[in-house]
Structure 1
Amino acid sequence: MASKQMKQMVHMNQGQGETSYARNSSIQTAEQKRMQPLIEAVIAELCSSTSTLVPGKMVIADMGCSTGPNAVTLVSIAVKAVQDHCFQVQRPPPEVCLLLNDLPNNNFNTVVKSLVMLRQSNEHVVVTGITPGSFYERLYTSDSLHLVCSSNSLHWLSKAPEDLFRNLIPAYDMDKDAKCQRHRMVLEAYAKQFRKDFTNFLELRAKELVSKGRMVVSLVGRRSDVTATKFSYLSRTIYQILSVMVLEGVNDKEKFDSFYVPVYEPSNKEVREIIQEEGSFSIREMQVHDPTTDMNNALSTPSKFVNLLRALCEPILVQHFGDVMCEFRALQSVTGAWRATC
């Protein structure tokens, strides 16, 4: 699964249907709300620094905005924070430019409409824009951004781990013994790819941010005291369903062996180490929280969980396996049955 292919495939399910991202993104919305006080604090710092905001403008970019009702949430929080801070200190707000980024196949139609409404309701938002492309590439000119936000995006890799697809090593062996023998190798390959991608992301954003610019990012991960002995729940559930489909003759085993879910959940220790080793940024604050409550509320039934899986991964699955989503949904009952461990 080459990088160019990944750019085309990784996008959320579009539209407003039962399995659309728009109707299955409450977990992501909850995470964005947690980011609000962090964004507000950063905005206050930026607005208080006259050297950073010369000549009275602020450029804010959300990388991995996706689509649906929460596509403009982070930039909306930032705009309101600018207005509230400037009102408190009795200073005219800066002109604000809002830029939203996601991969080219993202459904930007609803995003554009939301941006237009946001701009019309805020007189100090003078420019809005869409930047299609991977945030693992350069997107903006040097020294042009004041604030970069990203929520629920950076655990998505740029491509499958090179060590796996180059050597034709399945991410998830159906044979239990082979799976246990290769499991550590597979997880290390995913960790290596994340380190490469996240380092690249930091290097690129360092070039695009102004001096003393800020980033507020959130991604799905794990606590450092939780050993990486398994795939993420999302990944292993998908592999579990797909393996049953192979056994039932719905899926081809060769395609199954060459399929890689491009997701890695790093520990907070990994994230901290990569940031420190890359060296462009200092960590002002790092928070770790347990999303169990959000997940329990959003995924209270097997059908809701499968709808989430389809909202996030259906485009990837269809691209690789063809039109197998009816069978995928029919096997939703197995999502709670997997107990194998290595």
Structure 2
Amino acid sequence: MSTGQAVHMNQGEGEASYARNSTLQSGEQNRMRPVIEEAVKCLIKSTKSDGKIAIADLGCSSGPKALALVSCAVDAIFQHYRADREQVPPELSVFLNDLPDNDFNVVAKSLVAFHESDQRIGLVTGGIVPGSFYKRLFARSSLHLIFASSSVHWLSRAPEDLRTNGIPMYDGDDDLRQARGPLVLEAYARQFKNDLNLFLNLRAQELVSAGQMVISVPGRCASDGTCHKNLAWDAVACVLNDMATREVIDREKLNSFYIPIHAPSDVELREIIEVEGSFKINKMVVHEPKSGMDKSSITPKMIALGGRAVFEPMLVQHFGKSDQIGEEFVRTMEQHLSTGRSEFPPPGLFLLCVSLTKMV
């Protein structure tokens, strides 16, 4: 499954849309704010902007939070120049990127409102840049600040060797599934390493010298006992297996459905960045997915609707269009979470936020 062909969130603004079911992703954006504000300070201190600063959000998705990260950065930049009245504020360009099938209609409306904000008129221009971030998107040395929140864990494709070796997406035999777990994780880790190396190399070409980048991904701690699992989609696999058992979806098709997501360990992420060599790690923050949020509002129903908003387009593409798939996915996941068959977040899943500076 190629990410460029298959991955986009549920469109529109209806009950099943990503726009209305991205509370957890919005929580992660809020936790990135202090890291972004630090990156802005570092950028202004160490980079010659020549009166212009260009900012890009890679994997912006859609909905009311599509501009949350660039808005945070723009506010931090304006705050700095308001405090130092002797400096003239720079002209800002903000770019929002996602795959071509993303709901850019909603993004465009948000971008217009953002641009017309009183304090930003004449200082901020904006644009939409559709395309995979596993390809070059911007001119060489044209960007100063890049964000990627809950997006780089999406791979360019699921590991091909799982299909060629006949390893199903979910083994019904618990012992066999446990035995194959390390092989599956290793295959995903190899694909993630290849993709992240490419991502870092491309961004290093697009950033100016000493440009800043902040990435946030779901991940694992190497010191945790559950680190051998690909926790990012275990719960989804369990739900789909249940649906296949009840013949809601086809078992044979499930065996070949490989979700292109990898949750790296903190050690794994750090090692890839350091070996690739284009960036210096400023800091890496590890936190729980629900930290800073009202935990009473995170119900099984809310989590299930969020899962549908993310995965339904892939399910429809692979298993065929059916009104029953999305609704049954929500019902089954909600039941699993309510009865303890699945947990969210699964034990051992954390969120990793890393701040980077492009090497001179």
Normalising by structure 1, report the TM-score: 0.92
**Aligned residue among 5, 9, 30 for 2:6:** 9
Residue 336 of structure 2 is matched in structure 1 by 334
**Aligned residue among 249, 259, 269 for 1:261:** 259
Residue 41 of structure 2 is matched in structure 1 by 44
Residue 86 of structure 1 is matched in structure 2 by 81
User: Is the contact between residue 170 and residue 255 of structure 2 (CA under 8 Å) also seen in structure 1?
Assistant: yes
User: Is the contact between residue 58 and residue 95 of structure 1 (CA under 8 Å) also seen in structure 2?
Assistant: yes
300-309 vs 139-148, which moves further = 300-309
Distance 1:295 1:237 in 2: 21
**Aligned residue among 17, 21, 24 for 2:21:** 24
Residue 238 of structure 1 is matched in structure 2 by 236
Shift in Å, 1:170: 1.5
User: Is the contact between residue 98 and residue 125 of structure 1 (CA under 8 Å) also seen in structure 2?
Assistant: no
Shift in Å, 1:149: 0.8
Distance 2:235 2:35 in 1: 33
User: Is the contact between residue 27 and residue 293 of structure 2 (CA under 8 Å) also seen in structure 1?
Assistant: no
Distance 1:105 1:52, change over 3 A: same
Distance 1:29 1:125 in 2: 26
Shift in Å, 1:318: 1.0
Shift in Å, 1:151: 0.9
Distance 2:193 2:88 in 1: 42
User: Is the contact between residue 169 and residue 254 of structure 2 (CA under 8 Å) also seen in structure 1?
Assistant: no
For structure 1, the residue ranges without an aligned partner over 5 or more in a row are: none
Residue 127 of structure 1 is matched in structure 2 by 125
Whether 1:71 aligns to 2:66 is yes
172-181 vs 211-220, which moves further = 172-181
Distance 1:120 1:339, change over 3 A: closer
273-282 vs 122-131, which moves further = 122-131
Write 1 or 2 for the structure with the bigger share of strand.
2
Shift in Å, 1:298: 7.2
321-330 vs 19-28, which moves further = 321-330
Distance 1:12 1:139, change over 3 A: same
Shift in Å, 1:337: 4.3
Structure 2 counterpart SS, 1:220: strand
Shift in Å, 1:106: 0.4
User: Is the contact between residue 102 and residue 133 of structure 1 (CA under 8 Å) also seen in structure 2?
Assistant: yes
Residue 304 of structure 1 is matched in structure 2 by 302
Within 5 Å, give how 1:155-174 maps onto structure 2: 155-174=153-172
Whether 1:115 aligns to 2:114 is no
Residue 53 of structure 1 is matched in structure 2 by 49
Q: How many residues align?
A: 335
For structure 2, the residue ranges without an aligned partner over 5 or more in a row are: 344-360
**What is the alpha-carbon root mean square deviation over aligned residues?**
2.1
CA-to-aligned-CA distance 1:156-195 (integer Å, 9 cap, x gap): 1111112213333223212223312211101111111111
The amino acid that maps onto 2:341 is W
User: Is the contact between residue 298 and residue 304 of structure 1 (CA under 8 Å) also seen in structure 2?
Assistant: no
The amino acid that maps onto 1:334 is H
Residue 227 of structure 2 is matched in structure 1 by 228
Within 5 Å, give how 1:264-275 maps onto structure 2: 264-275=262-273
Distance 1:329 1:204, change over 3 A: same
Residue 283 of structure 1 is matched in structure 2 by 281
User: Is the contact between residue 149 and residue 215 of structure 1 (CA under 8 Å) also seen in structure 2?
Assistant: yes
The amino acid that maps onto 1:117 is A
Normalising by structure 2, report the TM-score: 0.87
Residue 186 of structure 1 is matched in structure 2 by 184
